[in-house]
């Protein structure tokens, strides 16, 4: 029923989220992905990029390029789509 995370897996998730927050707030002109990854304790570029893409669905370099406002717009769009799907489900259930 519940997936149990090991302490190591939990810490890795926390570190990955820390990298994501740092990349979103960073200036892409003066910051590199690996600088941030190293600050959060990731040493292997290949493993880090693979795990980051698996967790967030985008490359860390893409996160660095997108501004905070664009992330807010994307989040609002996803919320709107989710809301519309919920309304559609409710209306379909009422018809049945």
How do residues 39-83 score in pLDDT, each as one tens digit?
999 999 999 999 999 999 999 999 998 866 666 677 777 788 888
pLDDT score for 94: 67
pLDDT, mean over the chain:
86
Q: Could you tell me if 95 and 89 are in contact, meaning their C-beta atoms sit under 8 angstroms apart?
A: no
pLDDT score for 85: 84
pTM, entire model:
0.67
pLDDT score for 68: 62
CA 84 vs CA 52, 65, 89: distances in Å = 29, 29, 9
Using pLDDT thresholds of 50, 70 and 90, give the confidence band for residue 34: very high
**How far is residue 15's CA from residue 30's CA, in Å, rounded to a whole number?**
21
Tell me the three-class secondary structure of 23-84, residue by residue.
HHHCCCCCCCHHHHHHHCCCCCHHHHHHHHHHHHCCCHHHHHHCCHHHHHHHHHHHHHHHHH
How do residues 7-22 score in pLDDT, each as one tens digit?
999 999 999 999 999 9
């Amino acid at each position: 029923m519940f997936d149990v995370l090991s302490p190591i897996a939990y810490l890795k998730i926390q570190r990955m989220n820390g990298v994501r927050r740092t990349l979103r707030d960073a200036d892409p002109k003066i910051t590199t992905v690996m600088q941030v990854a190293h600050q959060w304790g990731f040493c292997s570029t290949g493993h880090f990029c693979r795990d980051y893409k698996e967790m967030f669905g985008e490359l860390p370099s893409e996160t660095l390029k997108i501004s905070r406002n664009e992330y807010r717009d994307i989040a609002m769009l996803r919320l709107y789509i989710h809301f519309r799907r919920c309304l559609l489900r409710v209306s379909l259930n009422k018809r049945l």
